[in-house]
Copies of this chain bind each other. A is one copy, B any other.
Amino acid sequence: MVKQGYHHGNLRQALIDAALALIEAQGPQGFTLSDAAKSAGVTPAAVYRHFAGREDLIAECARQGFEIFADLMEHAYNGGQPTALAAFEATGRAYLAFARKFPGHYMAMFESGVNFNRNPDLARASERARSVLTRAAEALSQHIPAARRPPAAMFANHVWALSHGVVELFARGAPGSRSPFPPEELLEAGIGIYLRGLGLIAPDR
């Protein structure tokens, strides 16, 4: 981290990073503005030069999370190449990969109780992430016979819910951690069965 500003260099981002580490370690409710300040080597009052307060700091953590999240999924989707199906499956895997690699961000986004609509930047970022998944679902929908094609938004929501459920229940120390299956395998198999149910994968594959 290069010194570039007045005293600290880039305190704003340092505080965000500290907050993310604390959220990851102690959960979003264990997160403390004072602790974040201390671990950035700064007085709690200094935080107010960069953020309106505690809530604002968490919201910024979540926002950055959604940006990374959307980028990752976008990259995995890869414009729908090589096939709509492969791209969709890659997007699903990217979901879980994000949750694993950025647990602090994930918690700030989905477990901190932050109100998405209180902060316009946050709302925009979360909308962008959501739209990647929906777009992938729409493209894939084209391959389903119109007669039994569910709305693409529903389709996307199913995959999102399954992914989120796997993360919350099986990907962390929490409740169902007795599961004998690695979460990646669990999610991939689940999405596979689901897609077969949509007629997108041959029954005997």
Chain A residues engaging chain B, CB cutoff 8 angstroms: 27-29, 109-111, 113, 116, 126, 130, 148, 150-151, 153-154, 157-158, 160-166, 168-170, 175-176, 179-181, 186, 189-190, 192-199, 201, 203-204
Contacts and interface: CB of A to CB of B under 8 A. Distances in A.
A29 B197 contact: no
A122 to B, nearest CB: 11
Nearest to A29: B29
A181 B160 CA distance: 14
Give this chain's copy count: 2
A186 B161 contact: yes
A169 B161 contact: yes
Contacts of A198: 193, 196-197
Interface of A is mostly: helix
Enumerate the 4 nearest inter-chain pairs by beta-carbon distance, A residue then B residue, closest first.
Answer: A197-B197, A161-B165, A165-B165, A29-B29
13 contacts: A29-B29, A110-B168, A154-B186, A158-B189, A158-B190, A160-B165, A161-B168, A163-B165, A165-B168, A193-B197, A194-B197, A196-B197, A197-B197
A160 B111 CA distance: 19
A168 B164 CA distance: 8
A169 B111 CA distance: 11
